[in-house]
Amino acid sequence: MTVTYSEVGATREGPMPPGYLHVTRRVRLGSGPEVFAAAKVGLAHWQPQRGAGLRVRTDAETAGPGVEFATGIGIGPLRLWVPCLIVWLVDEPDRYGFGFGTLPGHVETGEESFLLSTDGAGDVWFDIRAFSRPAKWWVKLGNPVAKLVQSKVTDRYAAAMRRGPLP
């Protein structure tokens, strides 16, 4: 499948593209290699999404380039599933993360990324970057509500990584 936007990889670094809503969060998870290692395992196994209360559908055990997945929000049959594709992955000694883009059928178009990094002091940081705009007419009509939902879910991603299976 092909993503629904042209700016693939723009959440990895540098400025995000104009014409979209931009979201960024940066939270400190702790300090030391044990914290980084635990956060890396959690991130690879969908901890931000699951910890935020979303369901995850995928055939992949862990996140990786080319992996398709869908997240679902809602209750029972009223769950809204949105398909995504992992478009980039960083796996370095002091950085780990990935970016995923929207696929046809998603209510928005754009990209979101989760990136762990360790700074010179040994602190472990979790960064969330996203750019998006409505892809469905009913999302455009409810855009203020959609922005609020996106902000709340982003906060929940950060909280899930903070409280995750970290030492």
- Whole-angstrom distance, CA of residue 39 vs CA of residue 32: 11
pLDDT at 131 exceeding the cut of 60: yes
Reduced to 3 states (helix: H, G, I; strand: E, B; else coil), residue 119 is coil
Give tens-digit pLDDT for 45-98: 999 999 988 999 999 999 999 999 999 987 777 888 999 999 999 999 999 999
- On whether the CB atoms of residues 39 and 163 are closer than 8 A, the answer is no
pLDDT at 141 exceeding the cut of 70: yes
- On whether the CB atoms of residues 62 and 44 are closer than 8 A, the answer is yes
- Whole-angstrom distance, CA of residue 6 vs CA of residue 96: 24
Instruction: State the average pLDDT for the chain.
Output: 91
- Whole-angstrom distance, CA of residue 40 vs CA of residue 44: 6
pLDDT at 113 exceeding the cut of 60: yes
Give tens-digit pLDDT for 103-112: 998 988 999 9
Q: What tokens appear for 47 in the block? A: 């901890």
Biggest alpha carbon–alpha carbon distance for the chain: 47
pLDDT at 134 exceeding the cut of 70: yes
pLDDT at 166 exceeding the cut of 70: no
Q: Residue 79 has what DSSP assignment?
A: P
pLDDT of residue 165: 64
- Whole-angstrom distance, CA of residue 69 vs CA of residue 136: 20
